[in-house]
Structure 1
Amino acid sequence: MAAAWDSATPVTADQTTVNITTDHVGDEAADASSGTIIDKVQEELKRAADKVEAEFSKNEAKMHRYLPSFRGLMSKDDRYFVPRCVAIGPYHHRAAAYLHQAEEMKRAAAYYFICERQSSGHSAEVIYARILSVAGDARSCYDDDAVLAGIIPQADFATMMFQDACFLLQYIMHANGVASQLPESLRRWFVANEDSIQRDIFLLENQVPWLVLDTLIYKPAHLLDLLRHCQSGSSSSKSRTISWGLPAESLPEYSSAIDLAEMGIQLKTNRTAKFSDTRLARGFLFSNLFLAPLVMDDLNACWLVNMLAFEIAAGTRYTNTSYVTSYVLLIAMLMDREEDVHELRVKRILHGDFSDQRTLSFLKDLLDLFDYWTDQHSDFMADLQDYRRKRWMWISLHKFIYNNLKSIVTVLSIISVLVGIFKTLFSISMKQH
């Protein structure tokens, strides 16, 4: 071993330096390569974060799609989700043959809209140029999926926005009795399809951005948002800390309409008919729960589903403006049995041609969409729980009287009759003596 070692070629100082230098250069190259990869990863992450922020900033103006939580309801009945008569926007563009007739009507409506504007000095070129100026922003409001990516070119998209916006404005003027130059044929088509049009133009996936309408004529996101805003009203309560909704299982138990009646709480319609105007007014003995009346028919049920879909998709629970959701949570809570539905009809809270069973089933299906309570509903339930705690003795007495009123009245009637008989017998006895 020693001989072998001695015969080995000696390593010079220069060779040692070269080896060390080479190793050092290799380490630097590896570090540089690693740094480049990290920089690229950070750039990708930043781009993703910027995209999320950009999407969130325009969330309320976005043309939302139905969330997966609505699939169960959609599988039962698509009448609340698919247009029957007219397609507005790209999501249902050329989707079904039965919608093609409305496409011709939209073109006719756009033509007469242009004619009206030309009579007031606005050329067709100027009107269309306005649409082109916002077409890019309008397109960005829709999902960038196969419906928009390549299938609908920019020019076709602008034309679609123009025709749809003109159609909507013409129909709105017609529905509100505003004089316009519509021919009798188009007027009759509007009248013949009124129910379907009113339903279709408020579907969540059947909207055009408000900015498109605004170029031709509070700025809501679209017609459905305008309907929701008008129906909901604005809360008069003081601003409060937003807790983003609480899990339903962590809050007090439900109370049906019959339960509230047993507690001495009477249901009454509010004066404003706004969903946000819901309050529990406490009296000395009895209390009143004021809430908006609800009409249950096909059209109003469709509007209700789509206003809910918009609030959920737009994330209004995080801005404390889920007025429709809060109302639905409350009205569905009040309906535990068909007897509760009947009680709401008696109190003039519930109207419409839906049967008690259908109304109950519909609202319970809506209730299945939520695994949380809104701040407004949580506040109401906390107020109701406080009412129970402070008036437990009065509630127990009132519940006994409420549930046994007929028996009590019967007993009192019997006692009254017996007293009358005894008085008569006593009177006869006194006369005999």
Structure 2
Amino acid sequence: MVAVFNKELLSWYLITLKLNQTVETGLQNAQSPTPTTSRSIDFPEQIQGPTHENRPIKIEEINNVEIDGHAKPGQDPEWIISIKEKLDQAQNDDVAGSWAKLCIYRIPQCLREDDKAFIPQTVSLGPYHHGKRRLRNMDRHKWRAVHQILKRTNQEIESYLNAVKELEERARACYEGTICLSSNEFVEILVVDSCFVLELFRGAAGGFTRLGYSRNDPIFAMRGSMHSIQRDMIMLENQIPLFILDRLYGIQAGNPDQNGVVARLALSFFDPLMPTDAPLSKSDQNKLKSSLGKATTFDPLTEQGGLHCLEVFRRSLLAIRVGPKPTPRIWIKRWSHAGRVADKRRQQLIHCVTELKDSGIKFKKRNTDRFWDIKFKNGILKIPRLLIHDGTKSLFLNLIAYEQCHLDCSNDITSYVIFMDNLIDSPDDVSYLHYCGIIEHWLGSDAEVAELFNRLCQEVVFDINDSSLSRLSEQVNRYYDHKWNAWRASLSHKYFNNPWSIISFFAAVVLLALTLAQTFYGVYGFYRPRS
């Protein structure tokens, strides 16, 4: 028995020794360099995984993977599979047309200097800000709106859910990036938020009491909180596709063909945010009707679908623009190249108010509600009245962000804001424009207005070759560069700045003329005396 036991012990000892030699041989081969040269790629830490300790990964190691996705001996199969998944995702993201329907964007980080202007403070709409703690208080009021609609129309919630379910894929394509929500969660958010928006639109247009709400309702009444809600609902990241609102409104009305109705309700709801309050003249009303064809109402779906309330509001600001679009400055266009990236260094369209005033240019208020419609003629710059309140900054920033992000969008609002930013460099510029009736504001001081415009376009890249105000700026700059205009303006400021100076100037001229006449006749009489 002892001999047998020793024989078994000897066998286990030999097996262990053989295994030890095999392991040591493998380690020596792994540490010794191979005779063939091989290039290495430094993969980032998140791709390498913790088992590779940030060492350079050779191309041969990646090529060691079998076609069926399994790694050969010596490779980490999970790591290789994760790399392939990332490459597949990149291929899917790079498919042509994957961003064709995108219209609701996340604000680029370079524009997020003031998050309060882009992040809702009272109510969230859509998936971007859904579920945030400070916005959850509004959820119960959203469900009250859904309940009130179903009670008023005697309909079931299934009809709304099924309608949005059919449009889910199209709605997801409107949002930037991957929406990490299940199908049911995404549809529920769109239904509840859309019903809330429609109740606000209809209540603002026809009265909330007619919809069944109490006159002292904390939300569905025209109270002070409504301004904060309006400001949140116009933000770019807080939008719902307009076709979703149209579909649900059609279910409420019993008529699915309701395109354009929600857009008109939206314009009525957001009217307090308009940057002007000047009424339309009859000629402007006729231009608006002719530009919209036979329809007497604004229809934002005449050109493209998949829009939202911010785009409807923006197009309403520019709806009356008719005629050919102004061409860029000739000297810029001559040296420009097609497809050139906008130059951040060349965004100066015009000089500031103080410099223009010193060169003889006068400023007058133009009576029109088209705040962007600026005219220049005979040294007079006519600018429509602009109203500035605490929501103006957020409004302009979201409009500029949309024009910066959306490909099929002009830069008319951005062009106007940069033009005003060039005009306003100091509180004195704001004070003079206020004196001329061009700027009306309810901020603390003129310095706050100047700072507002100076900070609106800090990170905006603007192409002056595509500006609707480039031709006008060329005319103003040409007038500014004429020296005679500056001399004449200097004379006017020094000697004709008040009525007494004018009287003194003409008195001096008359006195000088009389003195010259007396001198002439005295000399003439001396050389040619009367006979």
TM over 0.5: yes
Distance 1:130 1:325, change over 3 A: same
| Correspondence for 1:238 among 309, 312, 324 | 324
Q: Which residue of 1 is the match for residue 454 of structure 2?
A: 364
The question of whether the paired residues in 1 share the 8 Å contact of 2:356 and 2:480 is answered with no
Q: Which residue of 1 is the match for residue 117 of structure 2?
A: 80
Return the alpha-carbon distance in structure 1 between the equivalents of residues 483 and 505 of structure 2.
27
| Correspondence for 2:416 among 295, 318, 327 | 327
Q: Which residue of 1 is the match for residue 307 of structure 2?
A: 221
The question of whether the paired residues in 1 share the 8 Å contact of 2:479 and 2:485 is answered with no
The question of whether the paired residues in 2 share the 8 Å contact of 1:235 and 1:276 is answered with no
Return the alpha-carbon distance in structure 2 between the equivalents of residues 231 and 265 of structure 1.
28
Return the alpha-carbon distance in structure 2 between the equivalents of residues 50 and 109 of structure 1.
38
SS in 2 for 1:184: coil
SS in 1 for 2:364: strand
Q: Which residue of 2 is the match for residue 212 of structure 1?
A: 244
| Correspondence for 2:137 among 95, 101, 104 | 101
Return the alpha-carbon distance in structure 1 between the equivalents of residues 132 and 93 of structure 2.
34
Shift of 1:277: 2.1
The question of whether the paired residues in 1 share the 8 Å contact of 2:236 and 2:402 is answered with yes
Query: Equivalences for 1:307-322 in 2 at 5 Å?
Result: 307-315=399-407, 319=409, 321-322=410-411
Residue 186 of structure 2 corresponds to residue 157 of structure 1: yes
Amino acid at match of 2:490: F
Return the alpha-carbon distance in structure 2 between the equivalents of residues 110 and 257 of structure 1.
52
1:258-316 residue CA offsets vs partner (Å, 9 max, x unmatched): 23333443333444422442332x23xx43333x4322221222211111111112145
1:304-342 residue CA offsets vs partner (Å, 9 max, x unmatched): 1111111112145xx5x2111011011111101111001
Q: Which residue of 1 is the match for residue 96 of structure 2?
A: 53
Amino acid at match of 2:423: L
Residue 156 of structure 2 corresponds to residue 64 of structure 1: no
Query: Equivalences for 1:134-283 in 2 at 5 Å?
Result: 134-145=167-178, 148-149=179-180, 152-178=181-207, 180-184=210-214, 187-190=217-220, 191-192=222-223, 193-217=225-249, 218-219=300-301, 221-233=307-319, 235-239=321-325, 246-247=342-343, 249-250=345-346, 254-280=350-376, 282-283=377-378
The question of whether the paired residues in 2 share the 8 Å contact of 1:264 and 1:395 is answered with yes
Shift of 1:204: 1.4
Distance 1:300 1:413, change over 3 A: same
TM-score, reference length from structure 2: 0.60
Amino acid at match of 1:288: L
Return the alpha-carbon distance in structure 2 between the equivalents of residues 413 and 306 of structure 1.
53
* Higher RCO structure (Cα 8 Å, ≥6 apart): 1
Return the alpha-carbon distance in structure 2 between the equivalents of residues 203 and 101 of structure 1.
19
The question of whether the paired residues in 2 share the 8 Å contact of 1:251 and 1:378 is answered with no
Return the alpha-carbon distance in structure 1 between the equivalents of residues 120 and 471 of structure 2.
37
Return the alpha-carbon distance in structure 1 between the equivalents of residues 354 and 166 of structure 2.
57
| Correspondence for 1:347 among 436, 441, 445 | 436
TM-score, reference length from structure 1: 0.73
Q: Which residue of 2 is the match for residue 91 of structure 1?
A: 128
Return the alpha-carbon distance in structure 2 between the equivalents of residues 138 and 419 of structure 1.
77
Shift of 1:65: 0.7
Instruction: Please give the root-mean-square deviation of Cα atoms over the aligned residues, in Å.
Output: 3.5
Residue 328 of structure 2 corresponds to residue 287 of structure 1: no
The question of whether the paired residues in 1 share the 8 Å contact of 2:426 and 2:450 is answered with yes
Return the alpha-carbon distance in structure 2 between the equivalents of residues 411 and 186 of structure 1.
62
Distance 1:383 1:419, change over 3 A: closer
Identity, in percent, stands at 21
Q: Answer 1 or 2: which has greater helix percent.
A: 1
Return the alpha-carbon distance in structure 1 between the equivalents of residues 360 and 417 of structure 2.
23
| Aligned length in residues | 363
SS in 2 for 1:254: coil
Shift of 1:66: 0.8
Unaligned 5+ runs, structure 2: 1-62, 68-83, 250-299, 329-337, 513-531
Shift of 1:89: 0.9
Shift of 1:158: 0.4
SS in 2 for 1:57: coil
The question of whether the paired residues in 1 share the 8 Å contact of 2:129 and 2:238 is answered with yes
Q: Which residue of 1 is the match for residue 490 of structure 2?
A: 400
The question of whether the paired residues in 2 share the 8 Å contact of 1:138 and 1:209 is answered with yes
Return the alpha-carbon distance in structure 2 between the equivalents of residues 408 and 196 of structure 1.
47
The question of whether the paired residues in 2 share the 8 Å contact of 1:106 and 1:166 is answered with yes
Distance 1:154 1:349, change over 3 A: same
The question of whether the paired residues in 2 share the 8 Å contact of 1:233 and 1:274 is answered with no
Unaligned 5+ runs, structure 1: 1-32, 423-433
Distance 1:252 1:325, change over 3 A: closer
The question of whether the paired residues in 2 share the 8 Å contact of 1:275 and 1:323 is answered with no
Shift of 1:412: 4.8
Distance 1:205 1:273, change over 3 A: same
Distance 1:194 1:126, change over 3 A: same
Return the alpha-carbon distance in structure 1 between the equivalents of residues 485 and 394 of structure 2.
38
The question of whether the paired residues in 2 share the 8 Å contact of 1:85 and 1:197 is answered with yes
